[in-house]
Amino acid sequence: MDEQAKKTALRMIPYGLYILSAGTLETEIAAATVNWVTQTSFAPPLLALGIKTDSHVYAAARDSGDLVLNILGKGQGGLAFSFFKPATYADGKLSGEAITWAANGAPILASAPAAIELKVRKIVELGDHHTFIAEVTSVHLNQQIEGRPDEAVLHMKDLGEKVFYGG
């Protein structure tokens, strides 16, 4: 396979950007910006997420089974950049960001326009990222959304032509 062609073709898949938080105060809290996310079933509502096996967020997600997918809005690119590095929980804030707590015990970013609570149902252990199949157990709509909901969110392409995760 032509490596450059593979990279180019795979980078043609469009992505959103999200901050995935995992774990609870009783376990370990971790959070990271991710893009490898998609819905895979209506009933039950399931999402598939690709999570890097050597990351804190992987350990917290696997050990607790409790996740929150924080949807980022247009204009929240700075927040995406903050969570490309490991998150810190101190003084009731996550990497300096105000949070609330999901019913499953994981943190929700207060500024996220929406957040989706997830319960891990299966982990497919293939590759350098494992695929987490997780069921939607609750949602939080923190802002009134006008028009198409997918127009209100941050997309990978909004971060500029040099930022990719894929290929």
Q: Which residues bind ligand FAD (CB under 6 A)?
A: 30, 32-36, 50-52, 54-57, 59, 84-86, 129, 163, 165
Least CB distance from residue 146 to ligand FAD, whole Å? 27
Burial class (CB in 10 A: 0-12, 13-18, 19+), 51: buried
Least CB distance from residue 31 to ligand FAD, whole Å? 7
Q: Is the peptide bond before 44 cis (omega within 30 degrees of 0)?
A: yes
How far is Cα of residue 79 from the mean position of the Cα atoms in its chain? 12
CB atoms within 10 A of CB 64: 21
Q: Which is nearer to ligand FAD, 108 or 132 (by Cβ)? A: 132
Q: Which is nearer to ligand FAD, 85 or 141 (by Cβ)? A: 85
Least CB distance from residue 139 to ligand FAD, whole Å? 20
